Amino acid sequence: MKKYNIGYTTGVFDLFHVGHLNILKKSKELCNYLIVGVSTDELVQSYKRKIPVISLEDRIKIVESIKYVDEVVVQKTMDKLNSWEHLKFEVMFHGDDWKDSPMWKEYEGGFNKIGVDLVYFPYTKKTSTTILKQKIII
């Protein structure tokens, strides 16, 4: 697979776990410079209907400390094409759990028009923030 110069991925990164680490590591393996968007609490509330356990500031600090990450930006909107306008990445990385959703089909079409590749990585099924929260409650 080709190596990109600037890559981009986003996430909530709440209760940071190995699935988060996997996507950051795999993303960095394919690009020279990896920008990571960390979602605001308000954005997460708007589409997941829940507020992260870890504060935005702490989630940013955690993601910034990962050796695969070159830059962290705050993600205030789900509009990835708008993010491209500011960041000019060549490729966006994402977990394949959202791959066939209408929103991501729309992104695929938009990215295709501007020459941005979209690379999906397998979702880490054995762990997620939701699973971790359920285990903590038990």
Residue 105 has pLDDT above 70, yes or no: yes
Look at 50-59, 81-90, 124-133 and tell me which has the smallest mean pLDDT.
124-133
Range of the domain at 81: 4-137
pLDDT, tens digit (0-9, with 9 covering 90-100), for 24-40: 999 999 999 999 999 99
- Asked if 29 and 121 touch (Cβ cutoff 8 Å), the reply is no
Split at pLDDT 50, 70, 90, the class of 19 is: confident
Residue 85 belongs to a domain with what CATH number?
A: 3.40.50.620
CA 112 distance to own-chain centroid: 19
Instruction: Look at the chain and report how many structural domains it folds into.
Output: 1
- Which one from 2, 3, 50, 88 is the annotated catalytic residue? 50
- Active site (annotated) includes residue 50: yes
8 A C-beta contact, residue 68 and residue 93: no
Residue 91 reports pLDDT greater than 60: yes
Candidate list 2, 48, 80, 126, residue with the active-site label: 48
Q: How far is CA 90 from CA 3, 9, 10, 18, in A?
A: 10, 11, 14, 25
- Per the prediction, the chain carries an average pLDDT of 89
